Structure 1
Amino acid sequence: MSWYHKHKRNIAAAMGVCVAVGSIAGFTGCGKEAVSSSKSDENGEKASEEKAMGRYLEEDLAVPEGCTQIIAMELLENETMRLVYFIEDGVQVSDSKDKGKTWETPKSMREMAKADDSLEFGSSVAIAKDGGIFTTFLEMQDEENYVLHYFYISPTGEAKELDLNEAVGGYVFSCSFSDKGNLLLSSSDGVKEVNTQDGSIVHTYDAGSMVTIFDTVGSRLISVVDTEIHYYDMETGKPLEEEEVLTKEISSNPNNLQMTGMGINNLLFIEGDEKDSLFYVSHDGIYRYAFGGSVVEQVADGKLNSLSSPDIAFTDMARDKDGAFYLAVSDVSQSDPVGRICKYVYSKDTPAVPDTELTVYSLADDDFLRQAAAAFQKKYPDIYLNLEIGMTGEDAVTETDALKALNTEIMAGKGPDILLMDGIAADTYIEKGMLEDLSGILKDADILENIIEPYKDGEGKIYQMPVKFGIPYMQGKKEYVDAISDLTSMADTIESHKEEYTKDTLPFSSSYSPYMLLKGLAAVMNMSAWVNEDGTLNQAAVQEFLEQTNRIYQSAKTPAEELLASFGTTVEEMEEANEVRNLYSEFGAVFSKFGVGGLDLISGSNILGTGGVYSPSDLRSIYSVEQQGDGISGKLWNGQTKDAFIPQKIVGISAKSLEKEAAEKFVSYLFSDEGQRVGSSNGLPVRKSVYEDVSYWFGNAKEGDVTSVTSSYNNQTGESVEVSIVQPGESVIREMQELGKTLTTPVKENRMILSAVLDAGASYLKGEISVEEAVEKAASQVNLYLSE
């Protein structure tokens, strides 16, 4: 087990406001100049307009060699950048005299602290402006119990251990230094301010509360408890009056107040450019606020850089004397998190808002789209990407409403430039000439042949193309897996073992819910069989699906009901709690990313699992389950459709786009080497060179590394079940790569048809209607949809 991943395991065990967008009056380097600019009108002509100039541009700085994740960063009083970071087998400290261009020879944190080799790193690190460092180490008593050791390293390198266990009152979740050099530690008992010279407690803030976020700004401390923001005077230790303007602005985005992990957050504060002012960063951008003021000013728009990416979490922030911002982040867009340092420098010659605006439409909010948009925006600062979401979840807009509104906009020439086609019936758009041919853009994109060929028409034109894809996979007891080749043989196999099922051992995790069982089996490998070439419902295929799924459901119906009764709940209550009928919710998603079988197979709770391999992390999981489980195997999952792949993030360009050149640039980026490596959890790359790149599948891990540890319990014995997620070797990776290349048929997703079949099918499985009535009910709903 690598040191870093072992460390992660131990940590898991241990624990009306006005926003002014643009420049700031008097803020160094932020004046705007008006220049002539242009934008396409609805006729494609360029219209001249005055354009404000000046905005912050983002650049990536180098990190020390071997750095995997950043734990802490600070600009010292002499503007030396100091970094504490993980390497594969420990924690190191390194300095940069040129603010991230080059790094000095690193030092071991353990050696600097003079911590015994038997101690394990405890994750908490703070760096003071004078160069002093605070850190913690764990002395593990057994697998669950530990003793914390606190170390302070002075600016001159002297190390001493502080006796703080009784005073702190628990595990240290985060820490920082005040301007006076005092240490602040947050635990489950609030924030303690500690004198590093003698270890005495100076003040306690939010005593008895779990503080999820805190920062010091001059003589003030700002903390977050639950969803409340508190302000304290660090001179007296007493609460200050609420800064209503700041609180309201920050709280307008609930995600700002969530702690995303140990030492990483969605919100950071630093001291401002003037007395009694601050800067803060969130995914919305970088902001400035003067205490007691009436306005929060946006310094940098997060939509114009990677700040808006949902895969970015913030570790530390600093600002130099020239006004440049430095942000240490954890980037989880790849299979393993990586540490990055982003620098934001003001450019007076760059338009405040890009000249070209590109609208990208998605029926539902999509993390990958936001990740890709942030990465593209950084690469092409002259193009502004506007993400338009059809169903935000904040109103009563249905899928039908959203699609009608979209079609109306497109026909009026006011629609989006690019469409994410997931959930949208592309055939209709293609037939009506609403999508551009992408074959020219994709000519040199090096897309896997088995993926691109199904999307070509008779003339070789391509109107839509998935950016990612998934491999259908089935996992479970070997005797079951060996016997199953399609949906019917699955029903035969499960039915033949029905006497073996109990409330503690069911065929599927979804066996208790007719709707969830139908959806789990429908989405991946059966839905494509239900649609005829003319878009109508293939009633024979739907009837076969419902009959076979009913056999599976009835085989374990009684023990599944006993399981629900033991929880004191009903099918309806469980379905409502998990939003399973919302095809856009986390648990209701059509193509679930929750893995294939996992712990439920090893614990014996379930016999089978079906799903898809969408990422290197998924491969690690299924490999680990098959290696550590007793008699568990897996293979390609074929249902009513054979040798199919699961298209993800399907893109098309509107034929009525007013910004075709920019739209083509964005689509080209999505299929570039860089674009294909964005959002590795959202699907496998379709670009051959990336898909076949073994390093993409390894991430930061080496063969045999334990990348994480997960646990559950055996329902029958009550014993804990632990699975180490292990990085497989190249031979296993190559086997999965070759399997993906054999798949030649894209799964066709039509949520309208799926919803109709699921609703009618659930009534059938519950015995409320016959299978013939269920098929007729579904067909009627589909015909009504087609007529509209």
Structure 2
Amino acid sequence: MKRVFSILIVFSLIAGMIAGCGSNTDSQGEKDAGRETNVATENGNEKSDDQNDVTEENNENTAMGRYVETAIDLSEYCVRSDMINKRTDGALVIQDYYNPMLISKDNGETWEQEDTEWFSKLMENDTYIMDMAYGPDGTAVVLYNKNSDDDEPDSENNEDSSDEDSLDNENSENESEDSEGSEKASEEDSYRLEPVGMIIKPDGTQTPIQISVEEDDVYMRNVWMSGDGRIFVSTLGTNIYEVKEDGTAEKFLTIEVRPELIAFQENLMIIDGSKFGDLILYDMKKKERVEDQVLNDFVSENYKERDVYNGGEYFDLFIFPGEEGVIYLAGKKGLHRHVIGGSTVEQIIDGSLSCFNNPAYILHGMVTLPDNEFIALFGGGKVVRFTYNPDIPTVPNERIKVYSLKDNDTARQAITIYQSNNPEVYVEYEIGLGEDNSITRDDALKKLNTQIMAGEGPDLFILDDMPVDSYVNKGLLMDLSGCLSSLQGENEIFESVKNAFQKEDKIYMIPCEIQLPMVQGKEKYISRMKDMEGIADALEDLRKEYTGDALIDACTEKGVMGIFSMVCAPSWKTEEGELNKEAIEKFLLQCKRIYDAQMDGLSEKIIEDYKISNENMLAYYDMPRDTPELVRGLNWFNYLAGEMKILCGSLRSVDEFAEYRSVQRKKGYEDDVYLPLDGQSKNVFLPINLVGINAASESTERAQELLKVLLGKENQSYLFKGMPVNKAALEEAFLKEEEHVSEDGVFMSIGGSDRDGIMVDLEVYVLDEAQRQELRDWIENVNTPYVTDTVLEEAVYREGAGYLNGSQSLDETIKAIEQSVAIYMAE
């Protein structure tokens, strides 16, 4: 079978920028098999009733007993697996959309593939499977895309099937997956999906599903099976249909929002989805809703933002049945147990001490096992078994503290890995702004400084958006040179990145990830863009050739400055740390030329679309589109759709590099070239997740151990905002492209349409060795880190906007900037 994924991405004007901020969460291989993680219960000693008899205390001050994890790597067999089920005979089943199902008859210790004739038939015909479900008795239900031009299927084992509704060939060009931000109408129109369904009994008998969905439902999307074998189908609308044994169906329930998860506890149907507030509990026997305020309060407090667009294949919050009247809730907060109608929600596994808190572990499904054990399926074929151990402390006695202003996925992942390898240590993670950004940056930093001065500061900092120069000058950060020099072999980091932070033979901070500024477009323009003057010259000439079109992906003063500040801001302060007014003045002069070229004759439609996308960003992500982090995102989709003439931003992953090298292979783009972007500063890179260690920490040894994990291959092999600084992890990223590649070198095909119906597609080719070396050389030649100075840059953006739009003179602007940062610079 040709394992090339075709991904449907229906873009709005902002989709490309958002996509640049993340990674494919299912692409990472499993960590070391057999790894154990210790997990605490709530309040240090609370456990479910069934565990009380096995909990001991070795003394009156130390609570004992917690769950440990055993991980199994099934990535070889799990290409697109979205559920783990339990049969009445005790066997566990993992369903995959490209491989035969996996069966375990020993509670998940060993697994073997079990092929079936109907599944083999689907695979032979390259059928796109939309969803599957397995019942407790082994019954399978499958939804797949039907191609009306297919040949007649082999239906000799199906007395009731018709030629039209039996398993069909699938046109591989129509393969797609739901993606973030997908709209149901666009999804249907772009790929003409015609889902049909089939029930397959354990004896092989096939029965086609016959549902006439309502117009607003568009088509069948997900299938679910209850513990007693009832079959339910959800759609892209708000109706849920029940399918009878003969394949006929009738509308069962209409709810307010599209369901993405349906779970069952006896006669109770539990429904959830991305746009839900409270869960919906529906008594299928009484045909009425059930209220459970305790449950809804827990979900609101811990999982209020369940904003995942995934077609019901993975979950921020997963719900599954336990013993009579009990449901379990699993997510980043851990595992919780609740008796329906009961007065408490009880913590079984603490998320902060388990793989649940690792953002690389994307939950697909979970079930109970005998003896109060559990087993979960995570993305990338990661299977984790949770076993209770009464003989270890509930909470590790030794502690170290990690601090970042904002919640940080890379830090969370490293903490999980570290605690796995050091079960005697508890890593406390403090987020300065709170998980909901409930306080201001200034207030958070004041509180942190108070803690540091009182000797209660964190042991390890994630320094992004913090006053790092001040911390260095005040001697708050430890010299990392010795620790970094010990990183060898698979843990070796790029010397260029390390040297860029060397100051008087000492290194006080080091990034976990990096981004690389770049520009891409037609050679006759890009070849001139080697400094700010050259960029402005080229854009002015571009405007002469293209009237009314956007030249770059920014239509505001701050957006323009935000793109180019990353290659200029390192020059805005002198070596002594004083304000370089001359450099800022030159920056603003060239930015005004760029802004004028962009806005000169720009069509009203483009300006209006930009305003709409900006409103959407504010509504959904609480940040405007011209936020520097977002405006620097490279957007090849809009570029291929003709919505900009050059790409200018920061390169964030190996896959992105492959995408932009693949653009050059498209017809009409053969003369495209790219360049590392230079401005007032040269050889710039963006350090992401800067790490420093508190010089006054009493746990510097532990903090250095955690730093090594942050920079180690295991953590660096799966990053969220940038490319690895670890050499071995970069090489592994190259190899990952080859895991699912076609004979012609394509490892990913992406297509979609914008709001105007413009269709765009891109076949992404595996990087050849020459291209890989280009990226290695690029990283090895960087020497200027762009470390964000929030106060100074915000002053430049705020006052500079007046100069760019003509409401303020350059001299007035420079004076206003100087006055705005005078006290800050003096400190």
Asked whether the two chains share a fold, i.e. TM above 0.5, the reply is yes
Matched residue, 2:515: 470
Residue 513 of structure 1 pairs with residue 556 of structure 2: yes
Q: CA deviation at 1:782?
A: 1.9
Amino acid at match of 1:140: N
**1:128 aligned to 132, 135, 145, which one?**
135
Matched residue, 1:40: none
Matched residue, 2:26: none
Question: Between Structure 1 and Structure 2, which shows a larger proportion of strand residues?
Answer: 1
**1:610 aligned to 640, 644, 648, which one?**
648
Q: Deviations over 1:523-582 (max 9, x none)?
A: x21110111122221111100000000011112323337345655x86xx87676459x9
Please give the residue correspondences for 1:8-407 in structure 2 after superposition, counting only pairs within 5 Å. Answer: 8-9=7-8, 22-28=45-51, 31-36=54-59, 50-63=61-74, 65-86=76-97, 90-107=98-115, 110-111=118-119, 114-115=121-122, 117-118=124-125, 120-140=127-147, 144-165=191-212, 170-190=218-238, 192=240, 194-201=242-249, 204-206=252-254, 209-224=257-272, 226-236=276-286, 238-255=287-304, 257-262=306-311, 263-273=313-323, 275-330=324-379, 338-392=380-434, 394=436, 397-407=439-449
Q: Deviations over 1:110-129 (max 9, x none)?
A: 546x5495562222111112
**2:689 aligned to 649, 671, 683, which one?**
649
Amino acid at match of 2:536: A
Amino acid at match of 2:245: Q
Structure 1 counterpart SS, 2:341: coil
Q: Deviations over 1:395-423 (max 9, x none)?
A: 66332332222222111101111111112
- Find the aligned partners of 1:149 and 1:191 in 2 and give their Cα distance: 17
Q: Is the alpha carbon distance of 1:618 and 1:670 closer, same or farther for their aligned partners in structure 2, counting shifts above 3 Å? A: same
Question: Number of residues paired by the alignment?
Answer: 746
Q: Deviations over 1:716-763 (max 9, x none)?
A: xx7433333443333322221222111122223211111111111111
Q: CA deviation at 1:634?
A: 0.8
- Find the aligned partners of 2:127 and 2:437 in 1 and give their Cα distance: 49
- Find the aligned partners of 1:235 and 1:659 in 2 and give their Cα distance: 58
Matched residue, 2:663: 625
Amino acid at match of 2:740: A
Q: Is the alpha carbon distance of 1:730 and 1:97 closer, same or farther for their aligned partners in structure 2, counting shifts above 3 Å? A: farther
Structure 2 counterpart SS, 1:288: strand
Matched residue, 1:456: 502
- Find the aligned partners of 1:711 and 1:374 in 2 and give their Cα distance: 36
Amino acid at match of 1:608: I
Amino acid at match of 1:139: K
Q: Is the alpha carbon distance of 1:30 and 1:659 closer, same or farther for their aligned partners in structure 2, counting shifts above 3 Å? A: farther
Matched residue, 1:667: 707
Structure 1 counterpart SS, 2:774: helix
Please give the residue correspondences for 1:543-582 in structure 2 after superposition, counting only pairs within 5 Å. Answer: 543-560=585-602, 562-563=604-605, 566-567=608-609, 578=617
Structure 2 counterpart SS, 1:221: strand
Q: Deviations over 1:73-95 (max 9, x none)?
A: 21222322211124xxx332121
Q: Deviations over 1:118-161 (max 9, x none)?
A: 56222211111222211122113586323322122223343333
Single out whichever of 73-82 and 391-400 deviates more from structure 2: 391-400
- Find the aligned partners of 1:537 and 1:415 in 2 and give their Cα distance: 30
Matched residue, 2:750: 709
Q: CA deviation at 1:713?
A: 5.2
Matched residue, 1:15: none
Q: Select the structure with the greater relative contact order (CA < 8 A; seq sep ≥ 6).
A: 2
Amino acid at match of 2:322: G
Q: Is the alpha carbon distance of 1:592 and 1:618 closer, same or farther for their aligned partners in structure 2, counting shifts above 3 Å? A: farther
Indicate if the aligned counterparts of 1:74 and 1:83 stay in contact, CA closer than 8 A: yes
Indicate if the aligned counterparts of 1:22 and 1:300 stay in contact, CA closer than 8 A: no
Q: CA deviation at 1:216?
A: 0.8
Matched residue, 1:536: 578
Indicate if the aligned counterparts of 1:80 and 1:98 stay in contact, CA closer than 8 A: yes
Q: CA deviation at 1:363?
A: 1.8
Amino acid at match of 1:268: F
Q: CA deviation at 1:186?
A: 1.4
Structure 2 counterpart SS, 1:261: coil
Indicate if the aligned counterparts of 1:22 and 1:298 stay in contact, CA closer than 8 A: no
- Find the aligned partners of 2:797 and 2:267 in 1 and give their Cα distance: 59
Q: CA deviation at 1:470?
A: 1.8
Q: CA deviation at 1:208?
A: 7.2
Matched residue, 2:171: none
Matched residue, 1:5: 5
Matched residue, 1:634: 674
- Find the aligned partners of 1:84 and 1:714 in 2 and give their Cα distance: 35
- Find the aligned partners of 2:419 and 2:806 in 1 and give their Cα distance: 53
Q: CA deviation at 1:284?
A: 0.8
Indicate if the aligned counterparts of 1:694 and 1:730 stay in contact, CA closer than 8 A: no
Q: CA deviation at 1:20?
A: 7.0
Structure 2 counterpart SS, 1:470: strand
Measured on the aligned residues, the alpha-carbon RMSD in Å equals 3.1
Matched residue, 2:179: none
Please give the residue correspondences for 1:590-601 in structure 2 after superposition, counting only pairs within 5 Å. Answer: 590-592=628-630, 595-601=633-639
Task: State the percentage of identical aligned residues.
Answer: 25
**2:540 aligned to 462, 487, 495, which one?**
495
TM-score by length of 2: 0.84
- Find the aligned partners of 1:386 and 1:708 in 2 and give their Cα distance: 41
Structure 2 alignment gaps of length 5 or more: 12-41, 149-173, 175-189
Indicate if the aligned counterparts of 1:185 and 1:192 stay in contact, CA closer than 8 A: yes
Indicate if the aligned counterparts of 1:645 and 1:746 stay in contact, CA closer than 8 A: yes
Structure 2 counterpart SS, 1:100: coil
- Find the aligned partners of 1:678 and 1:662 in 2 and give their Cα distance: 23
Q: Is the alpha carbon distance of 1:714 and 1:304 closer, same or farther for their aligned partners in structure 2, counting shifts above 3 Å? A: closer
TM-score by length of 1: 0.88
Matched residue, 1:727: 766
Indicate if the aligned counterparts of 1:84 and 1:93 stay in contact, CA closer than 8 A: yes
Q: CA deviation at 1:667?
A: 0.7
Single out whichever of 371-380 and 438-447 deviates more from structure 2: 371-380
Matched residue, 1:333: none
Q: CA deviation at 1:706?
A: 4.3
Matched residue, 1:479: 524
Indicate if the aligned counterparts of 2:376 and 2:385 stay in contact, CA closer than 8 A: yes
- Find the aligned partners of 1:691 and 1:574 in 2 and give their Cα distance: 34
Q: Deviations over 1:675-712 (max 9, x none)?
A: 22132x32211122222446455263337224241334
- Find the aligned partners of 2:802 and 2:117 in 1 and give their Cα distance: 62
Q: Is the alpha carbon distance of 1:545 and 1:257 closer, same or farther for their aligned partners in structure 2, counting shifts above 3 Å? A: closer
Indicate if the aligned counterparts of 1:318 and 1:326 stay in contact, CA closer than 8 A: yes
Structure 1 counterpart SS, 2:513: strand
- Find the aligned partners of 1:148 and 1:426 in 2 and give their Cα distance: 55
Q: CA deviation at 1:27?
A: 1.8
Q: Is the alpha carbon distance of 1:298 and 1:254 closer, same or farther for their aligned partners in structure 2, counting shifts above 3 Å? A: closer
- Find the aligned partners of 2:637 and 2:350 in 1 and give their Cα distance: 42
Q: Is the alpha carbon distance of 1:195 and 1:642 closer, same or farther for their aligned partners in structure 2, counting shifts above 3 Å? A: closer
- Find the aligned partners of 2:663 and 2:258 in 1 and give their Cα distance: 36
Structure 1 counterpart SS, 2:794: helix
Structure 1 alignment gaps of length 5 or more: 13-18, 37-48, 331-337
Indicate if the aligned counterparts of 1:215 and 1:222 stay in contact, CA closer than 8 A: yes
Amino acid at match of 1:454: A
Q: Deviations over 1:32-75 (max 9, x none)?
A: 33335xxxxxxxxxxxx812111112221231634223132212
Amino acid at match of 2:472: I
- Find the aligned partners of 1:638 and 1:254 in 2 and give their Cα distance: 43
